[in-house]
Structure 1
Amino acid sequence: MIELHSIPSEQVVLSTLMSLEQVADTLVEQVDISDFYAGRHQVIFKLIADQHKKGESLDPVTIWELIRINNHENDVSEKYLMELTGRITTTLMFDTHLAKLKDLSARRRLQDTSKLISSMAVDMATHTAETAVSKAQSLIQNLDLGSGEEKLKHAHEFSKVAISEFMQRHQALHDGVAFDGGICTGFTALDNKLGEISKGDLVIIGARPSMGKTTFAQNLAADMMINQSLPVLFCSIEMKGHQIAQRLISGIGDVELRKVLTGKISPNSDDVKKISTAANILEKAPLMIDDNNRSTVATIRRSAKKVQLKYGKVGAIFVDYIQRVTPLSKNNFGRSDKDIGEISGELKRIAGDFECPVFALAQLNRNLENRPNKRPMNSDLKESGDLEQDADIIMFIYRDEVYHKESKDVGTAEIIIGKARNGSIGTVRLATDLAKSTFADLSPEYYESLDEQGVGGGV
């Protein structure tokens, strides 16, 4: 008799989830408890899935502690768990064995359904032939054919959603209230150009060093968490958490960063009160900072889950910066195109899974330094192919004063929009005061002066 289960394959899948923690968070969602035939394997997977939902560790020691706490020692012994996790596993093995488990679990469901249909066929007391056939058809139609099947819907289902959102937006505008739709940047000129940033968008912010990309990202995050009441996750791979907080206090309080860093302020100065007020605002803001300098997409996903548990949702995720994210497939040759493509693809999936935009900062190639016009373009993104493809929005920061000390544009930055799925490409100018960690909309007077000079505002 053919057995519709594979204990070795179940062991490989469980061992991978507990042993390869860097990738486990992206793999566990592909598995269902019904994929396992053995009862003890179902126990182990349920604990793994519960940990995944909470954004907690899936390692064998943690799982064993949970087995003991939940009185599952009769189902799973410590010796068996250690033998299980002692297996050598790879993500390639995981994919192969999970596919086998999916096939076997589907066959088990088919077998169970066929047994039920057989019993109905001979149950003349309960079913007529007509009702038995009808019930059998219903059972077959309700067989779970896989998660991809539920994505198939008639276009009308999606059009209903689109029309419903349109009516809600229309009513919100009529009533003068905010609509809980996309995300704003907080900069009027930039929002006019981009429109809303949609939930699920991957936004790339690229710049050469000293252009202020981290400050710009922190300004975006500050507006979202303070003015839009959105829970924000800031993954800082380059700076420690307290350094991020210092810059946020500088920007929110409109105080020079050096004063926040050195404490050299007169006790009676207004800056003391500004710093205190900014710190109080930051204390109440829905902001979580992950300053793990070895972040992977798995740790970013795990942090996002914790934000979701704490606040009920994730409003936006910031990653500073994408080339510093540790790739899942380690190699000895530094970051490759494949690594960056894998990371950007996973960040795009994280955006979709948490229904929030992900803002990923990116370094640009040095090659642009050799051009007379050093304004960035999409091709200047390091390993740009996949970043360009995965991104919904690409923005670059250019400050002319970095290259030309006598520039007439001192104190301003160009935000160059190189890609915008739902907005317009082009350039927006913002005022800068990096000493106070601040970008801001330019005054109407600035644009009037440009018009008088016959220069255009670039918006």
Structure 2
Amino acid sequence: MVQPLSLVEPPTPTGQSLPHNVEAEAALLGALMIDNRLAEDVQLKLRPDHFHEPLHGRIYEQILRLLDRNMIASPVTLRPLFEADEEMKELGGPSYLAQLTGSGAAIIGARDFADQIYDLALLRALVGVGREMVERALDTSEEVEPKGQIEEAEAALYRVAEEGGGEGGVKSFAQATRLAVQMAEKALNTGGGLSGVTTGLDTVNAKTGGLHHSDLIILAGRPGMGKTALATNFAFNAAQRYVRDIEDGIAPEKSAGAAVAFFSLEMSADQLATRILAEQSGISSENLRMGKISQLDFRNLARAAADLESLPLYIDDTPGLTIAALRTRARRLKRQKGIGLVVVDYLQLLQGTGRNSNENRVQEISEISRGLKTLAKELGVPVLALSQLSRAVEQREDKRPQLSDLRESGSIEQDADIVLFVYREEYYVASREPKRPVEGDDAKIFESYEQWQRDMERVYQLSELIIAKQRHGATGKVKMKFDAKITRFSDHIDADYLPEARG
């Protein structure tokens, strides 16, 4: 067996050398050069920077490059690539490559060597995070931001835990196929049509297939349209379905529901809880806030509150969150609570990481929308982000929103997998209420008011969910019922109201 390099290790904070096994690295490289087929399994997990000895990392990289070009990787074919390598010259030149193949027995344990090299790389990454945490915490020469340091440290630890110190997310087609089949199986088990997290509304699920993992879903609307109410309904329905599925013995990964993280940058946690309690108890949220309830109402309220105590719905109402802080908190909730859906109310209230207060707002929104999409992929959960619409909607006769109405629409529209708009014609008809006629008024005043009443009857409690963009399927519209008193959206069955055909 070749004598491995003798290195002077940089000390860790405890004075010890970094975790490594240069002998295992040498043995693995020798085995790869003897049997190139071993690289098929090893390269899915192991990268050149996982090797502790830089020379070994370079040799491994060149082996993979040769194999990628359908060439044989052996000491002979690798020799020209290392003629000028100074570190290899210190070991006697390219003949070092032949020395690595000296022990054919290493082929038997090649996969075990690869696993050990990978695990030790993770430990070194963990040491690096710890060292940086200590150094930054001790350095008070610059502006001290303890909370920022904690958030960055958590992000670094999450990368080590979830990505193996930066391991790429490359999947073989077989792996990707298995995931697709699992998704189809889930849709089949839930009665068909629902492959993602349920919204609780059958008509919406039928049109979208639910909220898909790794997707960024934008839910937008003008003030008064009920976008926060709809997002709250989705969150509650997903959490409730998750509890029900677990009680029925369904494995968490096969549940159509999910534990939910709700980042409420506009409303406080108790305001959101009041909305959910109003919806579940059937008591007006306004009456709840003002205490205008009977003893029977209070009993219904107490019963609803008791039922909701175990609901896996976690509300973070911290104001002024940055996108970096939100991602850190979401990772923590994923790790601690196993959340399967993230809701952000709303996107424009998040802040970018730039410290320049005069930074271009469009660029900041671009950073935020990219960060939310990255979070969805990183955690493998749907992220539902609410968004404002520009006032251009109010200038048109038809108040239905369009993609161009999204504020800073370029980046939001580009990053989103699905864009949903909430539209309630009732809101606009109600605002046009004419003068109430009295005895003696002109017939036109009576006629105008009667026409308005007919319009109100036509649109009463009706709302539309406009699917303006969907990567997975067709665009179109879904009709819903909205009870403003208890802020609840529900399915609306109307045979005359059919989704638009696929374009």
In 2, Cα distance between equivalents of 1:42 and 1:400: 70
Distance 1:205 1:41, change over 3 A: farther
- 1:308 corresponding residue in structure 2: 334
Q: 2:406 aligned to 369, 381, 384, which one?
A: 381
Equivalence for 1:331: 356
> Secondary structure of the equivalent of 1:239?
coil
The partner residue of 2:459 within 388, 400, 409 is 409
How do 1:57-456 residues align onto structure 2 when only pairs under 5 Å count?
107=54, 110=57, 129=102, 131=104, 150-163=168-181, 165-166=183-184, 170=188, 172=189, 181-229=195-243, 230-267=258-295, 269=296, 271-311=297-337, 313-333=338-358, 336-405=361-430, 406=452, 407=455, 408-442=458-492, 444=493, 447-448=494-495, 451=496, 456=497
Superposed CA offset, 1:225-270 (max 9, x none): 1123321111010111111111111112221011210111122x3x
Conservation of the 8 A alpha-carbon contact between 1:318 and 1:358: yes
Query: Alignment RMSD, CA only?
Result: 4.2
Q: Does the 8 Å CA contact 2:50/2:57 hold for their aligned counterparts?
A: no
Q: Secondary structure at the match of 1:40?
A: coil
Task: Name the CA shift for 1:241/1:107 in 2 (closer, same or farther; >3 Å).
Answer: same
**Whole-angstrom distance in 2 between the partners of 1:196 and 1:257:** 28
| Structure-2 separation of matches of 1:253 and 1:183 | 24
Q: Structure 2: how far apart are the matches of 1:128 and 1:301?
A: 46
Render the CA deviation track for 1:145-175: whole Å, top value 9, x for unaligned.
Answer: 99777444543442344345545655x37xx
Cα separation, partners in 2 of 1:137 and 1:346, compared to 1, 3 Å: same
Q: 1:331 to 1:435 in 2, by over 3 A?
A: farther
User: Using CA pairs below 8 Å that are at least 6 residues apart, which structure has the higher relative contact order?
Assistant: 1
Q: How high is the TM-score relative to the length of structure 1? A: 0.66
1:314 Cα deviation after fit: 1.1
Distance change >3 Å, CA 107–CA 335, structure 1 → 2: same
- Cα distance, 1:206 vs structure 2: 0.3
Q: 1:338 to 1:262 in 2, by over 3 A?
A: same
- C-alpha change, 1:303 and 1:159, in structure 2 (3 Å) is same
Which whole-Å CA distance do the structure 2 matches of 1:224 and 1:141 have between them? 38
How far 1:328 moved relative to its partner?
1.0
Q: Which amino acid aligns with 2:54?
A: R
Structure 2 gaps, min length 5 = 1-6, 20-48, 61-86, 122-163, 244-257, 431-451
Q: Which amino acid aligns with 2:225?
A: M
- Answer with 138-147 or 413-422: which moved more: 138-147
For the Cα contact (< 8 Å) 2:421–2:467, is it kept in 1?
A: yes
Report percent identity of matched pairs.
Answer: 30
1:314 touches 1:354 (CA, 8 Å); kept in 2?
A: no
Partner Cα separation in structure 2 for residue 343 and residue 169 of structure 1: 31
Q: 1:166 to 1:104 in 2, by over 3 A?
A: closer
1:392 corresponds to which letter in structure 2? D
CA distance 1:220–1:399, change in 2 (3 Å)? same
CA contact (8 A) 1:237 1:320 kept: yes
Whether the 8 Å CA contact 1:413–1:430 is kept in 2: the answer is yes
Q: Alpha-carbon deviation of 1:393? A: 0.8
C-alpha contact 1:202 1:351 (8 A) present in aligned 2: yes
| 257-266 vs 272-281, greater mean Cα deviation | 272-281
Question: Contact between 1:233 and 1:287, CA under 8 Å: does it hold in 2?
Answer: yes
Q: TM-score, normalised by structure 2?
A: 0.61
Change (3 A) 1:166 1:414: closer
Residues 1:265 and 1:186: Cα distance change in structure 2 (over 3 Å): same
AA in 1 matched with 2:402: M
Give the aligned residue type for 2:263. Answer: C
> Residue type of the partner of 1:274?
N
Structure 1 letter corresponding to 2:290: T
Question: Can you give the 5+ residue segments of structure 1 that lack an aligned partner in the other structure?
Answer: 6-35, 47-101
